[in-house]
Structure 1
């Protein structure tokens, strides 16, 4: 058997060329997918607009140490007394003397509920009638 090294070299070069094309197509496909995912994610993000005087809740990360199903990890409400240009909030509370600073990532806005009086209960189905015993 006699091998032609020139023909084998050309075949190998074509295979490497196809492999490079496949790699490039995979890269482009991945880039398009990431761009679409980023657009979708950015569209559903809701910006937090917190101003001076707003009431906010503070995330208490120490609660993780003491597990409890019904224990809330949010404490407050606190009043915003100042905002730094890099996202730190200066908070004030009636319970604590003075102010303290926290990072923007640890807070969320506090919405006070409207008291609209008693709640009306509407049953979708009538309860079963009580059986009379004689």
Structure 2
């Protein structure tokens, strides 16, 4: 890169891991390719153009329209619609040239308004999704001296068969604001974790079962 004067930046195009929206789009393309490729999965590159076309012309709930319309300001006409003489496709295809040009100019002028509306729809959708996500989070209260279990997220990558994701119980030594908790362990220094990765540990010795004395009654004659 120094030889040819190339400047490498950690932008979204070079580092898609920094953008959640890019990962969502890539996941959608992956699902389309999983359903279209044959037994030879090496042919995924041949199906990529069709997968991108299907992805860009599909209606997206967060923005309230299709990505194609968001870029070009008009609906996408598929060749099969013209071949089978769909009414709405032929209606737009048989416009007079002057009328079609004026209509296209109006669509281009409305493009900024359409993008602003898509941005507002995305914010509303994002807020609703956040409310649903936050409603499922349990508000756990930890006090100093409580014994807790720690969720080990690395098992998602290096998972063991039938292996629990909760590590040995630790003791809470200090509780910080904004959900941070400091834990102590028997064979190591204290460390801080997020409170959402913890849950209360109710283990210990099982108390002996006390059987009360049963009163015997004489057998009925």
Q: Same fold (TM over 0.5)?
A: yes
Partner residue in 2 for 1:79: 171
Count of residue pairs the alignment pairs up: 110
Structure 1 ranges of 4+ moved more than 4 A = 9-13, 60-67, 113-117
- In terms of fraction of residues, the more strand-rich structure is 1
In 2: Cα distance, 1:39 partner to 1:83 partner: 26
Partner residue in 1 for 2:150: 58
In 2: Cα distance, 1:62 partner to 1:115 partner: 34
Q: Bigger radius of gyration, 1 or 2? A: 1
Alignment deviations for residues 75-112 of structure 1 (CA, whole Å, 9 cap, x no partner)? 2222222234562413144xx3x752232255332133
> Is the CA contact (8 Å cut-off) linking 2:170 and 2:183 kept in structure 1?
no
**Residue 24 in structure 1 maps to residue 116 in structure 2:** yes
**Residue 89 in structure 1 maps to residue 182 in structure 2:** yes
Question: Equivalent residues in 2 for 1:98-113 (5 A)?
Answer: 100-104=190-194, 106-112=197-203
- Per-residue deviation, 1:64: 6.8
What SS does the corresponding residue of 1:46 show, helix, strand or coil?
Answer: coil
Q: 1:99 to 1:81 in 2, by over 3 A?
A: farther
Which of 46, 57, 69 is the aligned partner of 2:138?
46
Q: 1:37 to 1:59 in 2, by over 3 A?
A: closer
- Per-residue deviation, 1:44: 2.0
Partner residue in 2 for 1:15: 107
- Per-residue deviation, 1:61: 5.7
Q: Which has the higher contact order (CA 8 A, sep 6+)?
A: 1
Gaps of 5+ in 1: 1-8, 118-134
TM-score (norm 2): 0.38
TM-score (norm 1): 0.56
- In terms of fraction of residues, the more helix-rich structure is 2
> Is the CA contact (8 Å cut-off) linking 2:152 and 2:166 kept in structure 1?
yes
Q: 1:116 to 1:18 in 2, by over 3 A?
A: farther
